[in-house]
Amino acid sequence: MQCRVVTIGVLTSAEVSRLELGPGISARSPRLPSGMSAVSPHAERPLSLLDFVDIPPGLTASEAMQRTVRTAQAADRLGYHRYWISEHHSFVGLASSSPEILISHIAGATTGIRVGAAGIMLPNHAPLKVAEWFRTLEMLHPGRIDLGLGRAPGTDQVTAFALRHSRDGATGVPDFPQQAAELIAFLTDSWPAGHPFAKVVATPVVDTQPEFLMLGSSGWGSAFAAANGMTSVFAHHMSPELAIDALRAYRRDFQPSELGAEPRVIVSALALATHDPAVADDFRAGWALSMRNIRRGETMRPTIEEIRAFRLSDEYAGIAPGLEGRVFAGEPAVVAKQLAALAEAAGADEITVVAPTPDQQAKLASLELLATEWGLQPRSLPADQV
Cα separation values, 148 from 169, 225, 293, Å:
23, 11, 27
Alpha carbon distance 273, 369 (integer Å) = 6
More reliable by pLDDT, 67 or 13? 67
Query: Is there a domain that residue 13 lies in?
Result: no
Whether pLDDT at 10 is above 50: no
Q: Confidence band (pLDDT; 50, 70, 90) for 91?
A: confident
pLDDT number for residue 155: 58
How many residues comprise the chain?
386
Query: Is there a domain that residue 50 lies in?
Result: yes
Q: Confidence band (pLDDT; 50, 70, 90) for 175?
A: confident
Establish whether the linkage from the previous residue to 127 is cis, with ω within 30° of 0.
no
Query: Is there a domain that residue 132 lies in?
Result: yes
pLDDT number for residue 166: 54
Predicted model pTM: 0.86
Q: In b/e form, how buried is each residue of 348-371, taking b as 16+ CB within 10 angstroms?
A: bbbbbbbbbbbbbebbbbbbebbb
Burial of 333 (0-12, 13-18, 19+ CB in 10 A): exposed
Whether pLDDT at 23 is above 70: no
pLDDT number for residue 386: 57
Alpha carbon distance 378, 59 (integer Å) = 30
Query: Is there a domain that residue 32 lies in?
Result: no
Q: What is the pLDDT of residues 119-171, one digit of tens each?
A: 899 988 899 999 999 999 999 999 999 999 998 765 567 766 777 655 554 44
Query: Is there a domain that residue 234 lies in?
Result: yes
Whether pLDDT at 114 is above 50: yes
Query: Is there a domain that residue 280 lies in?
Result: no
Q: What is the pLDDT of residues 179-202, one digit of tens each?
A: 899 999 999 998 988 899 999 999
Q: Confidence band (pLDDT; 50, 70, 90) for 383?
A: low
pLDDT number for residue 21: 42
The percent helix, strand, coil of the chain (3-state, each to 5) is 40, 15, 45
Whether pLDDT at 69 is above 60: yes
Whether pLDDT at 31 is above 70: no
Number of structural domains (the chain) is 1
Best CA proximity match to 378, nearest among 111, 74, 78: 78
Mean pLDDT of 262-278: 97
Q: Which of 57-66, 158-167, 227-236, 317-326 has the lowest mean pLDDT?
A: 158-167
Q: Three-state DSSP class for 27? A: strand
List the CATH number of the domain containing 212. Answer: 3.20.20.30
Q: Three-state DSSP class for 145? A: strand
Query: Is there a domain that residue 299 lies in?
Result: no
Burial of 303 (0-12, 13-18, 19+ CB in 10 A): middle
Q: Confidence band (pLDDT; 50, 70, 90) for 236?
A: very high
Query: Is there a domain that residue 241 lies in?
Result: yes
**Residue 233 pairs with which residues in a beta bridge?**
215, 266
Q: Three-state DSSP class for 63? A: helix
pLDDT number for residue 27: 52
Domain of 148 in residue numbering reads as: 41-272+328-376
Mean pLDDT of 277-302: 94
